[in-house]
Amino acid sequence: MDRDSRFTAEVLARLHERGLVLPVPAPPAGKYEPFRLVRGTGYLAAQLPSRDGRYVLQGRVGAELTLEEGRQAAALTALSAVARIHQALGGLERLESLLRVDGYVASADTFVDQPEVVDGASELFLWALGERGRHARTAFAVGRLPKNNSVELAVTFAYDPTA
């Protein structure tokens, strides 16, 4: 087994160390594709925090949720994104790098720590994917997200289109 063919197994082992597994990606909630792969760039449809097929940690950070709960929601959302990339590429070997993560945080009017919330996602990406998890990022405050979710991530990544 060469280095690249071991990457998926290494990521799954890292997740297992923390008691995590890749969730089964949810079907699209509307008339769109869950991902698109175009000439070496992959685009994920919005990812949301879920566990066992159900949305979790719903509400606005700074109102119904604490900062730490928001970080947990962001980490769960990142885990969903890794699962979707795994689905899109048939494993993680072809993943070259995350490129950009746009994080949307449903926030109370006075809550201003969106970057710290989205750090929950960034930390999971870096921990699980190593160097391939490095990315540029934005963190936005929004009043509400679909289905009362607390965090939504849009992820763009680079992959090897020749493999």
Q: Going by C-beta distance under 8 Å and a sequence separation of 6 or more, which residues neighbour residue 89?
A: 37, 42, 95, 159
What is the pTM for the complete model shown? Answer: 0.95
Give the orientation angle of helix 7-17 with respect to helix 114-129, to 10 degrees: 120
CA distances from 17 to 94, 127, 128 (A): 23, 11, 10
Residue 2, pLDDT above cutoff 60: no
Could you tell me the pLDDT band of residue 53, with boundaries at 50, 70 and 90? confident
Domains of the chain from N-terminus onward: 4-159 (3.30.1330.40)
pLDDT on residue 94? 96
Q: Which two tokens stand for residue 58?
A: 């719903």
